Amino acid sequence: MPKKRVLILHAPGTNRDSDLYQAVITAGGEPEIVPISQLEKNEKHWRDYALLALPGGFSYGDALGAGRLWAVELRTLFADLVAAFVQHSRPVIGICNGFQALVKAG
């Protein structure tokens, strides 16, 4: 059975990417840390992944509050990405700051 590919979305200031990467390997998945810039340039596509994961840390230095600027980015640039995962019954997980960003993104 092929391993499930996991998209670990890296934003400036997230610093738990490597922990999440190792956790995915331990769980039997195939993780890939993808900087937001690669998604902005359409260098990566959501269809290639079974799960979207937002790691913890201090995205954008937690300017204006924990996860707030990352949430704005998720709402304005990546709303279709998150919606596509949800609409196709693919899990989306946010850990710590990633969860805060998802909640604030709505």
- Evaluate whether 57 touches 94 at the Cβ level (below 8 Å): no
pLDDT of residue 26: 98
- Evaluate whether 90 touches 43 at the Cβ level (below 8 Å): no
pLDDT of residue 23: 97
Helices (H) and strands (E) in the chain, counts: 5, 4
3-state secondary structure of 32: strand
- Evaluate whether 85 touches 42 at the Cβ level (below 8 Å): no
pLDDT of residue 46: 86
Report the alpha-carbon distance of residue 106 to residue 104 in Å, rounded. 5
pLDDT tens for each residue of the chain, 106 residues long: 789 999 999 999 999 999 999 999 999 999 999 998 888 888 888 889 999 999 999 988 877 778 888 899 888 888 888 999 999 999 999 999 999 999 999 8
Distance from chain centroid for Cα 58: 14
Structure pTM? 0.89
Q: List domains and CATH numbers for the chain.
A: 5-105 (3.40.50.880)
